[in-house]
Structure 1
Amino acid sequence: MIHIPTAPWAHSVFDLLAWGGGMGLGAILYRWRLSESVNKVALKVDGGYFAALAAGAIPGAWLAGSLNTLRAAGGALSHSVVGALVGAIVAVEIYKALRGVKGSTGGIFVGSFSLGVVIGRFGCLFSGLTDQTYGRPTTLPWAVELGDGIGRHPVQIYESAAMALFLLAYLAGLAVRAPWAMRRGFYVMCLWYGVQRFAWEFLKPYPRLIGPFNLFHVLCLGLAAYGLGYYLADRDRDRERDAQVRALSVPGPDHQPV
């Protein structure tokens, strides 16, 4: 069992590091690979896009977090990163539907969000039991002790490591200009984040909502379904467009010499 020194203020420190690191990485990726795709998105949207994003993310974060913690013993208000992500997606997709915007618009946020989770989850770990993101008790040798003498699954590290693996794969995809990373990276991120977090939720002592599933299980299933569904739809649109271009480029009878 590994003893972890904890302090409530650690969360704020790592939150600042996560925001700063995420914004810095986002700027780097924009200059390196994403400027063309981001500029195309900018031509389709206006200030309403960012208003919708904020209008979905902020209440989504607090609503999802509080609906979970208020159901537990000694419930209190809280916020959740998956709630923020789901809320932002719902609001932005409504905005896009009203504006007739097609395709992914979240590519610029992939690196920032992923790195933010990688860093931010250590704030959850070092803030200890007060953060209410700790894992179930376990006797595994890498169990962490957060001040109450009980060894627990380090679910924060599990999630951080999972998103670090995704971030490495994403950067490798950008390096070779892979279509999944260049054009559909946001959908892949949503799918991966939803699946990996769905798994870790079984290791948390949250109140159940439906059978063995808690609220975040449900949100993560929706997030994964969104990522997979929109990824496949966007890929099919690309294939149809490529097929039309090839068909138009094939010489017809009128192009033959007479």
Structure 2
Amino acid sequence: MSGAFLHTVFDIAAWLAAAVAVYWLSRRGLRFPAQSFELPYVAALVFGTGIGAYLFGSANLWLSGQSGIARSVEGALAGGIVAIELYKWNAGIALRTGARFALPLAVGIAIGRLGCYFAGLDDFTYGTPTALPWGHDFGDGILRHPVQLYESAAMGAFALLYVLAVLNQGAFTITNGFYLALAYYGAQRFLWEFLKPYGTLIGPFTLFHLLSLSILLYAAVMLATAPKARPLHERAVA
């Protein structure tokens, strides 16, 4: 079974798991802002994630001395954030609309990164050489950091903690879950980037180092300015 086929299978599984996560949240009695379900909002989100995915993914290839077109999960995330913030600004929406994406984001990345792992060298998401016992040979005879698995495990852990917060009705975590997910994602992604063979942009930092810091900063600002969390029963989650 080819790596490309497995990658596609896990991509589909990631989308399905994200959809299941949204359904599970709704079954817990949480109601999310209606604006995040409206067609223009969804269209802006899809457009932004698509542009960001290919823009940053392809730029990273170029900076790493390679040609071609590539996609990036982090690029998609950044593009989606920018697109939605611009859409909300243009539509005069002051309400925070990201809460329902926290669990789907974490679950989707945790599963999707498994596809990157099975895709091997062609995916260009593998790690740098390592002598550690869990180093993986992706087909070129070199043991490398399985950074895809590192990220998958990290986001899986966040998903688990988030689920526990929902079960315990943790108002702050649920209300600000998306920004907590972004902060966590940006921090762990920044660390893994040191273990990837990407071309640097500023000093020892790659394009994705800088993007990770930008996402982390955005999340920090949103968390610092978050309104006080209130009990979640019978009200929309912002």
Relative to the length of structure 1, the TM-score reads 0.84
Letter in 2 for 1:238: K
Q: Detail structure 1 runs of 4+ shifted over 6 Å in the superposition.
A: none
Q: 1:26 aligns with which of 22, 26, 34?
A: 22
Give RMSD over aligned pairs: 1.9
Larger Rg over CA atoms: 1
What is the alpha-carbon distance in structure 1 between the residues aligned to residue 36 and residue 182 of structure 2? 22
How does 1:72-87 map onto structure 2 within 5 Å? Answer: 72-87=64-79
Residue 5 of structure 2 corresponds to residue 13 of structure 1: no
Relative to the length of structure 2, the TM-score reads 0.91
Letter in 1 for 2:68: A
What is the alpha-carbon distance in structure 1 between the residues aligned to residue 57 and residue 37 of structure 2? 30
**Deviation, structure 1 residue 97:** 1.8
Q: Unpaired segments of 5 or more residues in structure 2? A: 231-238
Letter in 2 for 1:163: M
Residue 224 of structure 2 corresponds to residue 232 of structure 1: yes
**Deviation, structure 1 residue 130:** 0.3
Residue 176 of structure 2 corresponds to residue 176 of structure 1: no
Residue 107 of structure 2 corresponds to residue 107 of structure 1: no
Letter in 1 for 2:27: R
What is the alpha-carbon distance in structure 1 between the residues aligned to residue 171 and residue 217 of structure 2? 20
What is the alpha-carbon distance in structure 2 between the residues aligned to residue 139 and residue 238 of structure 1? 48
**Deviation, structure 1 residue 181:** 2.2
**Deviation, structure 1 residue 103:** 3.8
Whether the 8 Å contact between 1:12 and 1:123 is mirrored in structure 2 is: yes
**Deviation, structure 1 residue 71:** 2.6
What is the alpha-carbon distance in structure 2 between the residues aligned to residue 154 and residue 29 of structure 1? 31
Letter in 1 for 2:20: G
Whether the 8 Å contact between 2:64 and 2:200 is mirrored in structure 1 is: no
SS at match of 1:209: strand
Q: Unpaired segments of 5 or more residues in structure 1? A: 242-258
What is the alpha-carbon distance in structure 2 between the residues aligned to residue 73 and residue 45 of structure 1? 40
Q: 2:149 aligns with which of 157, 160, 173?
A: 157
Whether the 8 Å contact between 1:143 and 1:151 is mirrored in structure 2 is: yes
CA distance change for structure 1 residues 219 and 43 in 2, over 3 Å: closer, same or farther?
closer
